[in-house]
Amino acid sequence: MKKYIVAFLGLVLVLGTMGAAISVFFVTDTGGLGDKSFNDSAWAGVEMAAKKYNVTANVIQSYEQADYIPNLTAAAQVSDVVVAVGFMMQDALAKVAPQFPNTKFIFIDGVVKSPNVENFLFTEQEGAFLVGYLAAGMTKTGKVGFVGGIPIPPVLRYQYGYESGVETYNVLNGTNVQVLSGYVGSFDDPASGKSMTNSQFSEGSDIVFAAAGLSGLGTIEAAKDAGKGHFAIGVDQDQDYLAPGYVLTSAMKRVNIAVFDGIKSVVEGTFKGGTITLSLKDNGVGMSPMTYTKQLVPKTLLHQIDVLKKAIIDGSLVVPNTKEKFQAFQVPQIQF
Amino acid sequence: MVSRLKKFYMNDKIIVPVIAVVVSLFIAAIVMLLIGKNPFIAYGALIYGAFGTEGALINNIMKATPLILTGLAVGFGFRAGLFNIGANGQLIIGALLATYVGAHMSTFPFYLSIPLTLAVGMVGGALWAAIAGWLKVARGAHEVITTIMLNYVAVFIANFVVNGPFQAPGGVPKSPEIAYSARFPDLLTTGATWLSAGIFVALAAVAVVYVIIEKTKTGYEVKAVGLNPYAAEYGGISISKNTILAMAISGALAGLAGTMQVMGVYYRYLGSLGGGMGFDGITIALIGQNDPIGIAFAAFLISSIRTGSNQMQIAGVSKNIVIIIQGIIIFLVAANRLVKSLMFWKKGAEEA
């Protein structure tokens, strides 16, 4: 009984400190905080909003998939805004959101149709296209790798964007760079990510792009272990700093901006249910500035990437985002 | 003195885990103080989050259900002298087969489709584990190695199946849903959480395993082989038969754990349904001292800590504290001699 009272007091304390501020709860996926990628980026967005507005930031990390429903429910009960990230949470959110019509949900990477859910999607393929083109231009062995987490739509967009970037390089430069692709089967298993990357290295690739959340940290480690001449390509955040000189670039997806914009819309009263897609044009996706590796890349290659970037932004180059579109993809003639 | 000693050893099974839990909570409280958190608020939130509301209790029970079964799977293996690290793989194969059969049950009435789906899930796990049992008997391959490797095989089979031939439309790694007639009925629903009847299956399994181990000839033989295989063989008990049988029973329990997730929680095979439940089973079997009833309590302990940890995070304490608590419990139970000597030391001090 005493402990119940303590628990109750604890809750009152938590609720009391919230005061008039808008309380935001961020529910991570199983990758959790510290993935240096997707979840960390979303949390950065929440903290950014907390600095700028009268917002309190809280986080609940999910241990396993079965935690999504209870964690979303618990968060919705005590907060004004719930930030949910990850396509894998879509089914759970679709069940929880309608139960709390007064709570606003910001959802990244999936779509839940409910008036209190604002969904954010990204055109991952556009950033991946650019890093794919770069990888194809930089490989010494004629083979590049792709390591995915779980083949869900956002990761597939990365994969086909990357593969079409490589293909575009091949067509425009008359080369035959090949892509080795594999899936780890989870977003929270760096050890498996590393072993898959190592096997791609041993099959002859020298640059591996990982779109695998926490698992992708294994790819970066593998590139570092393999030493000179091997590169990883990071994902979601600018991961170049994790192993300076061994991460060629990162395909960035500004989850932090999306989360920040979502919270901002609540603060400013412009929140409305629906779906917002962020693309290269809005600076929602892109390539990292290559802080440590830019001097390794030939000037002409950087120039070509700039031209392609403009072509994507003005719509003259549409990057495929599914397997079907990739198979039907015709590389347009581009003059550099 | 002698009777007191005897009494102490008889309660050994209970006293070691209980002390381990208390000590680990105490150590975790010190850790929390060191990082500037109030342990009373944290534990208050933990208890509130595990038992405080109807939803919390439902979540707790739902989490405990598969853990009881993987705990039993590993515990039964231990009793037979087998270290089954492959509960995860057996769970996946069981769940996968149960999903496949369950999805084709729409024309069957529930009183046929539920037992049939359950049986298929168990047989799937049993056969997968029996491979490791057979390899041990026929080739002398140690089950730790073979079951770990079979885990990988199972994971990759499942990934392939739900990304290809048996994938629901929508580009997500998940199978189609199972038929309504093959689902466990919901006993209670609050918000987006529900209590499935799976817990009764898990509790029934506790009773059945208890009876098998303690009251049947099979249980006696399996235990005898586990304790001393050559002595057992000298006594006319077949090592090969009992090794394979023990692995199969262990695997059937793990398969049943996966089947529970399919029939009562997800209603389909989801990408990473297995999670780490097979490995949690090792923890739980250790805490439960390989005793079916102890395992049921240990599973509830772990599920309570985990369910409560979500509320604890709302109170601002990281989920990693829970992992620390769990780690210390395991450490103390595994090092139970340490706990015992602590007990004697305390007793000695009282008498002095």
Q: Name all domains of chain A by residue range, CATH numbers in brackets.
A: 2-122+255-278 (3.40.50.2300), 124-252+298-327 (3.40.50.2300)
- DSSP code per residue over A80-128: SEEEEE-GGGHHHHHHHGGG-TTSEEEEESS----TTEEEEEE-HHHHH
> CA A285, A289, A290, A291 torsion: positive or negative?
negative
pTM: 0.81
Cβ-count burial of B2 within 10 angstroms (0-12 exposed, 13-18 middle, 19+ buried)? Answer: exposed
Is A96 near chain B, with CB under 8 Å? yes
pLDDT higher than 90, residue B62: yes
Q: How confident is the model at residue B349 (pLDDT cuts 50, 70, 90)?
A: low
For residue A179, the surrounding DSSP H or E stretch is: strand A178-183
Question: What proportion of chain A, given as a percentage, has pLDDT over 70?
Answer: 94
| Inter-chain contacts counted by CB atoms under 8 A, chains A and B | 110
**Poorest-confidence range of A95-109, A197-211, B149-163, B164-178?**
B164-178
pLDDT higher than 50, residue A16: no
pLDDT the model gives residue B326: 87
Chain B residues in contact with A60 by the CB 8 A cut-off are 310, 313-314
pLDDT the model gives residue A189: 87
Residues B219-277 pLDDT 10s: 999 999 988 889 999 989 999 999 999 999 999 999 999 999 999 988 999 877 777 88
Average pLDDT, chain A: 90
Mutate to test the interface with A, among B32, B272, B305, B306 (most CBs of A within 10 A): B272
Mutate to test the interface with A, among B313, B318, B324, B325 (most CBs of A within 10 A): B313
Of B193, B272, B314, the CB nearest to A14: B314
Helices (H), A113-249: 124-138, 153-173, 190-202, 216-226
Contact B252, B163 (CB under 8 A): no
Rounded Cα distance, A280 and A100, in Å: 34
B124 Cβ partners below 8 Å, 6+ apart?
B90, B93, B94, B95, B96, B97, B98, B255
Q: Where are the domains of chain B?
A: 61-317, 318-352
Ranked by mean pLDDT, which of A26-40, A280-294, B121-135, B269-283 comes out on top? B121-135
Mean pLDDT, residues B103-115 taken together? 93
Distance from CA of A88 to the nearest CA of B (A): 8
pLDDT the model gives residue B335: 78
Contact B248, B127 (CB under 8 A): yes
For residue A143, the surrounding DSSP H or E stretch is: strand A143-148
Rounded Cα distance, B75 and B81, in Å: 10
pLDDT higher than 80, residue B338: no
Q: How confident is the model at residue A17 (pLDDT cuts 50, 70, 90)?
A: very low
Chain B residues in contact with A74 by the CB 8 A cut-off are 49, 310-311, 314
pLDDT the model gives residue A187: 86
Chain A residues in contact with B310 by the CB 8 A cut-off are 60, 67, 70-71, 74
DSSP state of A331: P
Is A66 near chain B, with CB under 8 Å? yes
- Record: contact A74-B49, CB cut-off 8 A: yes
Mean pLDDT, residues B16-22 taken together? 85
**Poorest-confidence range of A222-236, B136-150, B334-348?**
B334-348
Mean pLDDT, residues B152-172 taken together? 85
Of B62, B171, B307, the CB nearest to A156: B171
Rounded Cα distance, B292 and B311, in Å: 29
Chain B residues in contact with A99 by the CB 8 A cut-off are 191-192
B276 Cβ partners below 8 Å, 6+ apart?
A64, B88
- Record: contact A4-B41, CB cut-off 8 A: no
Chain B residue with the nearest C-alpha to that of A17: B315
Residue B189's beta-bridge partner residues? B194
Is A182 near chain B, with CB under 8 Å? no
Q: How confident is the model at residue B318 (pLDDT cuts 50, 70, 90)?
A: confident
